[in-house]
Amino acid sequence: MDEEMPSLFRSLSARFRRAPVQAGSSADQHYDHSSGGNSLPPKFDHRRQLCCKVLLLDGSDLNVVVSKNAAGAEVYEQVFYSLDLEERDYFGLQFTDHYNVQHWLDPAKKIAKQVPIGPPYTFRFRVKFYTTEPTSNLKEELTRYQYFLQLKDDILNNRLPCPKDMAAELAGYALQSELGDFNPMEHTAVTVSEFRFHPEQDEAMDLEILERYKLCRGQTPAQAEINYLNRTKYLEMYGVDMHIVRGRDGNNYKLGLTPQGMLVFDGAQKIGLFFWDKIQKLDFKNKKLTLVVEEDADQSNNGQIQLHTFVFNLESHKACKHLWKCAIEHHSFFRLKTHLGPRQNRSQLFRLGSTFKYRGRTEYETVYKDGARLSRRHSSTFERRPSQRYGPRESHAVNRQIRRDQFKQEVAASVLPPSDLMAGIHLNDTRQISAGNTVSSPLISTYHPPSINSRMPLNGSLLYPQSSSSSIPSMVPQIRPSDKKFNLNF
């Protein structure tokens, strides 16, 4: 029995023994974009590593392999390194839990502790903070391009409501960025119908987009994207992070987080705005979010500052905490100039409430402190990925075929032999005479067939021989034997 024990221990240890992962191996490096959008996961050690799939804004995905105890910061670092993105604080990685609540990946916490679904884990790379001045605050072309992709997706999925006339103008900029200058031989309404820009895009909107696209001639992709951002920032719901809540009266409302504060909507109507500097307290407990707002002193309240408390309920504790965290992050990013990291108080044995703190940089630090460094950086070169295309709209193809058939009939009618045309004229005159009408047709009495030597100019117009005894009407065409091979293909 004693002799069998060592062999048993050796077999058990051999079962769980794995070759160590060498530093700098492919498992420790980021993975390139997949061309088809459905890349195979890389090979990695399932006992010591995790695989994360990141869906990018251009429709591709990125596979990232990190250690099993890695924090969210490792995934962020590999994604930003792969994209060569320097203005990183505007973006985040989003995931969804079992209750269909969307969360932002916390860079300070372990991935396995905060993401409930997985492994493998799936994240969506998205814009987290929408700056009020994208063309001036965003220093690099690559950052503006990522913003451009995000806003296109927001309008298409109705997260950012946009009128159809303005959406047609924005779609023209998007086509200019992707296709270049308008070419009438290549770019038609059928081409436009293969793209998706608006949830209510129809045949009439395709034609309007085509006309807007023609006006963008001469713009580079970067200029077209800047024009796109300059127009989009004036939309009413631009940069609003919307959350559904329930008031004390039992009615559903919407709280929108913006750079200025918190908007309150009753349906589609805006009924209030709480500025960040007027919010004195923001707390949550279970499903209840408490908001204490300061009211300015005026004559109505005898010159005294009054505090008003608003209480909102959410569907779940997870949704309530997510809204509270998003509000804290918006306040810190847009309101503060410099944000200090949270202090670690190790002497505190028991802690009450959430310990969440915003750990990133503020917009002031990104724009004014990092702006000089980014301006000295060599402009990064990147490749714009083509948009997803769909089947062309059948109505455009049918209308195009109808126009072709009509044009062919008009051309065929213009080259009919004079005898056929005269037969039609005699038939019309006979019908008028039989009806009891007196018809005087100088065309019948004075017409002389043109000679074969009649000449046709190079511009394609039809001429007739000059005759002193008669004047040939312009409605009678002239044809030569060589004209019988008229090309009707176009």
* Residue 377 belongs to a domain: no
Does one domain contain both 220 and 160? yes
For 224-241, the three-class secondary structure string (H helix, E strand, C coil) is HHHHHHHHHCCCCCCCCE
3-state secondary structure of 51: strand
**In CATH, what number is assigned to the domain containing residue 193?**
1.20.80.10
> Would you say 83 and 90 are in contact if contact means Cβ atoms under 8 Å apart?
no
Query: What six digits make up the tokens of 108?
Result: 């300070």
> Would you say 239 and 263 are in contact if contact means Cβ atoms under 8 Å apart?
no
What pLDDT, on the 0 to 100 scale, is given for residue 97?
87
Helices (H) and strands (E) in the chain, counts: 15, 12
Buried b (16+ CB within 10 A) or exposed e, 286-295: ebebebebbe
Q: How confident is the model at residue 481 (pLDDT cuts 50, 70, 90)?
A: very low
Who has greater pLDDT, 231 or 118? 231
Does one domain contain both 154 and 219? yes
Spatial separation of the C-alpha atoms in residues 257 and 252, rounded to whole Å:
17
Q: How confident is the model at residue 300 (pLDDT cuts 50, 70, 90)?
A: low
Does one domain contain both 213 and 248? no
Q: Distance from first CA to last CA of the chain, Å, rounded? A: 93
Which of 33, 396, 382 minimizes the C-alpha distance to 195?
Answer: 396
* Residue 367 belongs to a domain: no
End residue of a domain, out of 399, 426, 441 = 399
Does one domain contain both 163 and 261? no
* Residue 369 belongs to a domain: no
What pLDDT, on the 0 to 100 scale, is given for residue 426?
53
pLDDT digits (tens, 9 = 90+) for 405-436: 777 777 777 766 655 545 555 545 544 444 44
Does one domain contain both 391 and 475? no
Q: How confident is the model at residue 297 (pLDDT cuts 50, 70, 90)?
A: low
Number of structural domains the chain divides into: 4
3-state secondary structure of 47: coil
- Counting Cα atoms < 13 Å in the Cβ hemisphere of 410 gives 6
Spatial separation of the C-alpha atoms in residues 247 and 274, rounded to whole Å:
16
**DSSP, res 372:** H
User: 292 lies in which domain range?
Assistant: 242-338
Does one domain contain both 443 and 465? yes
Listed in sequence order, the residues at least 6 apart from 160 whose beta carbon sits closer than 8 Å to its beta carbon are 151, 154, 232, 235, 237, 238
Q: Left, alpha or beta for 59 (phi > 0: left; psi -120 to 50: alpha)?
A: left
Does one domain contain both 96 and 136? no
Q: Is the pLDDT of residue 145 over 70?
A: yes
Average of per-residue pLDDT values in the chain: 77
Spatial separation of the C-alpha atoms in residues 365 and 346, rounded to whole Å:
29
What pLDDT, on the 0 to 100 scale, is given for residue 457?
47
Angle between helices 164-179 and 203-214 (to 10 degrees): 60
Strands 49-55 and 61-67: antiparallel
* Residue 347 belongs to a domain: no
Q: Name the least confident of 82-91, 108-117, 294-303.
A: 294-303
* Residue 205 belongs to a domain: yes
End residue of a domain, out of 105, 127, 149 = 127
* Residue 149 belongs to a domain: yes
Does one domain contain both 88 and 123? yes
Q: Name the least confident of 57-61, 144-148, 454-458, 486-490.
A: 486-490
- The angle at the Cα of 371, spanning 369 to 377, to the nearest 5 degrees, equals 125
Q: How confident is the model at residue 99 (pLDDT cuts 50, 70, 90)?
A: confident
Does one domain contain both 88 and 151? no
Does one domain contain both 253 and 173? no
> Would you say 305 and 298 are in contact if contact means Cβ atoms under 8 Å apart?
no
Query: What six digits make up the tokens of 260?
Result: 């200025």
Neighbours of 195 (CB within 10 A): 20
**DSSP, res 342:** P
Spatial separation of the C-alpha atoms in residues 198 and 201, rounded to whole Å:
5
> Would you say 476 and 425 are in contact if contact means Cβ atoms under 8 Å apart?
no
Which of 306, 356, 393, 295 minimizes the C-alpha distance to 104?
Answer: 356
Does one domain contain both 171 and 254? no
What residue type is 206 in one-letter code?
D
End residue of a domain, out of 399, 428, 447 = 399
Considering just the CA atoms, what is the radius of gyration of the chain in Å?
35
pLDDT digits (tens, 9 = 90+) for 327-377: 999 998 998 887 665 555 544 444 445 666 777 888 888 888 766 566 556
What pLDDT, on the 0 to 100 scale, is given for residue 483?
47
3-state secondary structure of 103: strand
Question: 245 — phi, psi (to 5°)?
Answer: -130, 175
Spatial separation of the C-alpha atoms in residues 125 and 243, rounded to whole Å:
20
Q: How many residues does the chain have?
A: 490
**In CATH, what number is assigned to the domain containing residue 75?**
3.10.20.90
Q: Where are the beta strands (DSSP E) in 182-303?
A: 241-246, 252-257, 261-266, 269-275, 279-285, 288-295
> Would you say 127 and 147 are in contact if contact means Cβ atoms under 8 Å apart?
yes
- The angle at the Cα of 429, spanning 427 to 435, to the nearest 5 degrees, equals 105
Using alpha carbons, list the distances in angstroms from residue 20 to 17, 27, 28, 44, 49.
Answer: 9, 12, 13, 12, 12
Spatial separation of the C-alpha atoms in residues 330 and 322, rounded to whole Å:
12
* Residue 365 belongs to a domain: no
Does one domain contain both 233 and 255? no
pLDDT digits (tens, 9 = 90+) for 217-245: 999 999 999 999 999 999 999 999 999 99
* Residue 143 belongs to a domain: yes
